[in-house]
C-alpha cells in the first residue's frame, strides 16, 4: 500500500525536535510522498529548501490568507522565482479566511487573485484554503476555469461538493472525517467522485482519531484513509491506490 499526504506543514516549529527522523520514518508507514503547503514568503523558502533535501517531499509556494500582513510589493515576483524550481508543484495554500479576520476581505481577495494569476502564468495547480468563505472563493475561481484546483480540508455542504465536482475540482479530506460529529466531511467522503479525492493530514493540526488533540504528522494518514474506506465500503488498499493516483495526476508527480 502507498499513501500520499497532499497537505502537511512539516516546516512548522512543532517538528523541530524530530523532523528528519520523521521524514525518514514515513516509508515505514506506507507514506510515499508528502506535499507541503507554504504560508508566506519566508515559509515558501523554508518549504522549498526542505523539499530539496528529501526525495519524498514536494513543495508549494504562496501566502495563506491569514498571513497577508507580511505581503509586500514584489513578493509575487519572488514567489515566481521560487516556483521555477522543479520541486515546487503548486501555488498554495491560498484563498480566503473570514473566520480569523473578516475586516480585510478586499485585501484578502486582492492577494488571492494575484496568486491565481501567478498560477495561471506558470501553469501550476492551486491549493485552496477557505474558511467561512467558500462562496466567495468559488465566485472568484469562476474566472480561472483553466486552473487545476484542489480544495484542501474540504468541510462544506453537499451542494458545494456538487459544484466542485461539476467544475472538475479535486477535494482533499483530512483527519476531521474521523470525528464522530463531522457530518459534512463524512458526507463529502461518501459522495465525492473517486477520481477527485485526495488525502491529507494538515499536520501538525487536526490529528485523526484515536490521536485527536495530539500533534499530527503524516504517518497518521492511514487513519484518514481507513475511515473513508469504511464509509465508502471499499478496501483500504483500493482507496490508497486511487487517492495516490489522483495526487500524482493533480501535482504532476512523475
- Of the candidates 250, 34, 57, the residue with the CA atom closest to the CA atom of residue 151: 250
Q: Between 47 and 229, whose beta carbon lies closer to Zn ion?
A: 47
C-alpha cell, 73: 510589493
The 168-207 contact track toward Zn ion, x by CB under 5 A, reads ----------------------------------x-----
Q: How far is the CB of 127 from Zn ion (least distance, A)?
A: 8
Q: Between 40 and 202, whose beta carbon lies closer to Zn ion?
A: 202
Q: Between 94 and 118, whose beta carbon lies closer to Zn ion?
A: 94
Whole-angstrom distance, CA of residue 126 vs CA of residue 82: 15
DSSP-derived 3-state class of residue 198: strand
Q: How far is the CB of 15 from Zn ion (least distance, A)?
A: 14
Peptide bond into 204 cis (omega under 30): yes
Q: Between 6 and 246, whose beta carbon lies closer to Zn ion?
A: 6
With contacts defined by CB under 5 A, how many residues of the chain interact with Zn ion? 1
Q: How far is the CB of 205 from Zn ion (least distance, A)?
A: 7
Q: Between 23 and 229, whose beta carbon lies closer to Zn ion?
A: 23
Q: Between 229 and 250, whose beta carbon lies closer to Zn ion?
A: 250
Residues 76-86 as b/e (b if ≥16 CB within 10 A, e otherwise) read beebeebbeee
Peptide bond into 210 cis (omega under 30): yes
Torsion over CA of 59, 4, 93 and 40, rounded to 10 degrees?
-40
Q: How far is the CB of 30 from Zn ion (least distance, A)?
A: 22
Q: How far is the CB of 129 from Zn ion (least distance, A)?
A: 6
- Of the candidates 178, 192, 188, 199, the residue with the CA atom closest to the CA atom of residue 251: 199
247, 89 Cβ separation under 8 angstroms = no
- Of the candidates 113, 114, 112, 59, the residue with the CA atom closest to the CA atom of residue 85: 59
C-alpha cell, 56: 519524498
Q: How far is the CB of 216 from Zn ion (least distance, A)?
A: 11
Q: Which of the residues 202 through 231 are near Zn ion (CB under 5 A)?
A: 202
Applying CB under 5 A, which residues contact Zn ion?
Answer: 202
Amino acid at each position: 500500500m502507498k499513501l500520499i499526504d497532499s497537505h502537511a506543514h512539516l516546516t512548522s516549529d512543532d517538528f523541530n525536535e524530530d523532523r528528519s527522523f520523521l521524514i525518514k520514518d514515513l516509508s515505514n508507514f506506507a507514506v510515499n510522498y508528502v506535499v507541503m503547503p507554504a504560508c508566506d514568503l519566508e515559509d515558501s523558502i523554508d518549504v522549498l529548501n526542505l523539499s530539496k533535501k528529501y526525495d519524498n517531499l514536494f513543495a508549494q509556494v504562496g501566502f495563506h490568507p491569514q498571513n497577508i500582513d507580511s505581503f509586500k510589493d514584489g513578493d509575487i515576483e519572488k514567489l515566481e522565482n521560487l516556483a521555477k524550481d522543479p520541486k515546487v508543484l503548486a501555488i498554495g495554500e491560498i484563498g480566503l479566511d473570514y473566520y480569523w479576520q473578516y475586516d480585510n476581505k478586499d485585501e484578502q481577495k486582492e492577494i488571492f487573485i494575484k496568486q491565481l494569476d501567478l498560477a495561471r502564468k506558470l501553469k501550476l495547480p492551486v491549493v485552496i484554503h477557505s474558511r467561512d468563505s467558500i462562496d466567495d472563493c468559488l465566485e472568484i475561481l469562476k474566472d480561472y476555469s483553466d486552473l487545476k484546483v484542489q480544495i484542501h480540508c474540504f468541510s462544506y455542504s453537499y451542494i458545494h461538493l456538487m459544484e466542485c465536482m461539476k467544475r472538475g475540482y479535486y477535494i482533499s479530506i483530512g483527519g476531521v472525517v474521523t470525528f464522530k460529529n463531522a457530518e459534512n466531511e463524512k458526507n463529502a467522503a461518501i459522495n465525492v467522485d473517486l477520481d477527485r479525492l485526495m488525502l491529507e493530514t494538515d499536520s501538525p493540526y487536526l490529528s485523526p482519531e484515536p490521536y485527536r488533540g495530539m500533534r499530527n504528522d503524516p504517518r497518521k494518514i492511514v487513519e484518514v484513509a481507513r475511515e473513508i474506506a469504511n464509509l465508502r465500503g471499499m478496501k483500504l488498499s483500493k482507496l490508497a491506490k486511487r487517492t495516490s493516483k489522483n495526487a500524482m495526476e493533480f501535482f504532476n508527480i512523475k
